Chains A and B, each alone.
Chain A
Amino acid sequence: MIALHTRALSKTFKVKRKQAGLAGSFRALMRPEWETKEAVKRIDLTVEAGETVAFLGPNGAGKSTTIKMLTGIMHPTAGEAKVLGFVPWKERNALAYRIGTVFGQKSQLWYHLPPVDTFDLISRIYELTRGDYLTRKRDLVDRFEIGPYMNTPVRKLSLGERMRCEIAASMLHRPRLLFLDEPTIGLDAVVKQRIRELIRERNRTEGTTVFLTSHDAGDVEQLCSRAVVIHHGGILLDEPVEKLKREVLNRKTIWLTLPEGADPLELRGAEGAEVTEKNGRRYRVSVDLKRTGIEQVLRLLIGRIRIEDVSVEDPPLEEIIQHLYRMRKPEEVTT
């Protein structure tokens, strides 16, 4: 069953151009110059029900604009879309009962009130019966482990606690399709991991289709089965994440802090790992996962040298996308 389908979905904006400085401001006042910016260019996309899709791209690629069109918030300039059988911008109300949205930068929780009050309001917005609401709330509070925060004003919660409440709130009405726009933005590694687990669990147990944008390669790797990369408004790549992992997500970075006087030459010799940067006592080691595993490299290094601090990072998503962009010829990009 198809959850969403788009055909040549496009959005253009008129953007005012202004020269720098006060003189430029006066010129723009008298003779404004407008430029047409193609935020989304003829996107063709089909997502099956139950899929977990990562919708990726650098800042300004058109990810959020696409999500806003698919949720009925914005009207497209051209093209077609159906989400759960509804045309989003024409049947926004009917669609809203069936989808959930989480905008990492736009909260639906009331800042001065505890989450439980917003949950009550949301139950009215989605017209849940009292009994159904209470059962559902109990289940989500339990699974998301947000019981201790439910009666604390949102302004006093940490970002991670708030995001857990935010995602739980968006699932209160059992959405069949969940749009997540950068749900892990600004969170620490532990909270990110927990949020990914929770979203994955909802996908598994309730069959919720997940459509996610993120700048975090970890979100894609751990949460999604398919990645769609857009660049300059057009689709650059649409592949299973497994394939992406083999082709592109095959490097990780280990940051090491060595004690004073340690011999950095000891870092050499681990196959598939090389020191790519040095900053004081801090070393960046790039690991080729096709040749070796992180665990093997760490075991080898710990056996050879005393280490003060260690952290493992995914390559930044922007780097991966730039890499993909270089790999593909421009004419391959859907425009």
Chain B
Amino acid sequence: MSMAGKFGSVIRFLLTCWKVNLASALEYRTSFFLLAGMMFINNLMWLFFWSLFFHRFPVIHGWRLEDVMMLWAVGSGGFGWACVLFGNFPRIAAIVSSGQLDVYMSQPKPVLLNVLASRMSVTAAGDFVFGIVIYAMVGNHTFTGALAFAAGLLISGCLYISVMVIAGCFAFYVGNSEGIAGQVFNSFLALSTYPSDIFKGLTRIALFTIVPAGFISYMPIGLLRSFDPVFAGWSIGVTLLLGVGGALLFKAGLRRYSSGNALAMRS
């Protein structure tokens, strides 16, 4: 099969996977709307506290309330689409350590893609809608502004996925690494929702290296308020590096996969 044929086949597979995921989520309509709505309100509450803060201190290290709102828009929006389309990315460690890769590995599709696309997080739909609503409220509605926001969503979503794939791959090497992956997930998520400029020194270096949440949390300044080509270049480069690194690590990890005898159902 030609490259174009293979690509087309993967796209058709992903579309069907997402259709099946959505159908599965809609099996419990009330739960779907409640969970998505709750997440929207949860995010709104955070913004409410930030608005109280900025009411008292209108500018913090050059950040205004609109910037924090856009940080939340790009962060929760990116997290939202990543969880809706590739909802298994925070669960890689659990899937590997409990031996649930068997079914994915017995099918003729890229294993990582198959695993990632096999789950849709219902609550994350609320995150994505929240991101769009905030952009509609305070974002730059010019063509370039919309393009920058779309790029920000894409980069932040890909970063969340890549970081968690790498964290999840520890399970191939150290066994049960759900705890480590959970810690990485929580710290990455938390750090990506605070303005990067409030961190100085070593913490700031860590924010752009060990836990690269800075590439999300600096977006409102480096990508959305004004386009900084150096930051944009680094963001794209780091995202690609982590994405490719995660995929290679996962592929190498499959050699060490030891399966298991846990009962497993796909939901």
B49-57, B61-69, B100-108, B126-134: which lies at the A interface? B100-108
Inter-subunit contact B27/A106 (CB<8 Å) = no
The answer for the CA separation of A126 and B103 in the assembled complex, in Å, is 14
Chain A CB within 8 A of B259 CB? yes
Q: Apart from A121-B17, A124-B17, what 15 extra A-B contacts exist at CB < 8 Å? A: A71-B106, A72-B105, A73-B101, A73-B259, A74-B258, A89-B255, A96-B107, A97-B108, A101-B106, A105-B262, A107-B265, A113-B20, A117-B23, A125-B109, A127-B9
Chain B CB within 8 A of A68 CB: yes
Task: Check B108 against A125 for contact (C-beta < 8 Å).
Answer: yes
Question: A residues within 8 A CB of B23?
Answer: 113, 117
1/0 per residue, CB under 8 A from A, across B138-159: the answer is: 0000000000000000000000
- B200 in the interface (beta carbon within 8 A): no
User: Is B33's beta carbon under 8 Å from chain A?
Assistant: no
Is residue A318 contacting chain B, with contact meaning CB distance below 8 A? no
Q: What's the nearest-Cβ distance from chain B to residue A114, in Å? A: 9
A50, chain B: closest CB distance, angstroms: 22
Nearest chain B CB to A195's CB is how many angstroms away?
A: 19
Number of A interface residues, CB 8 Å?
Answer: 37
Interface of B is mostly: loop
* Chain B interface size, under 10 / 10 to 19 / 20 to 34 / 35 or more: 20 to 34
Contact between chains at B263 and A112 (CB < 8 Å): no
Does B13 interact with chain A (Cβ within 8 Å)? yes
Q: Are A111 and B267 in contact (CB under 8 A)?
A: yes
Determine whether the beta carbon of B264 is less than 8 Å from that of A105.
yes
Residues A120 and B265 in contact in the complex (CB < 8 Å), given A125-B107, A126-B108, A127-B9: no
A46 to chain B, nearest CB (A): 22
- Measured CB to CB, the closest approach of chain A to B116, in angstroms, equals 15
Does A34 count as interface, using CB distance less than 8 angstroms? no
Q: A68-B102, A73-B106, A125-B109 are in contact. Are A110 and B20 (CB under 8 A)?
A: yes
A125 pairs with B13, CB closer than 8 A: yes
Interface residues of B (CB under 8 A from A): 9, 12-13, 16-17, 20, 23-24, 27-28, 100-103, 105-109, 255-259, 261-267
Whether A13 is near chain B, meaning CB under 8 Å from some CB there, is yes
Q: Is the interface of A mostly helix, strand, loop or mixed?
A: mixed
Within 8 A of B (CB), among A64-123: 64-65, 68, 71-75, 89, 92-94, 96-97, 99, 101, 103, 105-113, 117-118, 120-121
Query: With the chains together, A210 CA to B50 CA distance in Å?
Result: 63
Q: Do B108 and A93 touch (CB < 8 A)? A: yes
A153 within 8 A of B: yes
1/0 per residue, CB under 8 A from B, across A251-285: the answer is: 00000000000000000000000000000000000
- Shortest distance in angstroms between B3's beta carbon and chain A's nearest beta carbon? 15
Q: Are B266 and A110 in contact (CB under 8 A)?
A: yes
CB nearest to B101 among chain A residues:
A73
A112 near B108 with CB under 8 A, answer: no
Q: Which residue of B lies closest to A14 (CB)?
A: B258
CB of B19, distance to nearest CB on chain A (Å):
8
A105 and B261: CB pair below 8 A? yes
The contact sample of 16 A-B pairs, CB cut-off 8 A, is A64-B259, A72-B105, A73-B102, A74-B257, A101-B106, A105-B262, A106-B100, A110-B20, A113-B23, A117-B23, A117-B24, A120-B16, A124-B16, A124-B17, A125-B108, A126-B108
Residue of A nearest to B27 (CB): A112
Do B108 and A96 touch across chains, with their CB atoms under 8 A apart?
yes
Rounded to whole angstroms, the CA-CA distance of A118 and B266 in the bound complex is 10
- In the complex, the answer to whether A120 meets B257 with C-beta atoms within 8 Å is no
Task: Report the minimum CB–CB distance from A125 to chain B (whole Å).
Answer: 5
Nearest A residue to B14 via CB reads: A124
Q: Which residues of A contact B101 (CB under 8 A)?
A: 73
Q: Which residue of B lies closest to A74 (CB)?
A: B259
A110 with B255: CB separation less than 8 A: no
Q: Is the CB of B108 within 8 A of A73?
A: no
Closest Cβ–Cβ distance, residue A302 to chain B (whole Å): 42
Verify A106–B264 contact, CB threshold 8 A.
Answer: yes
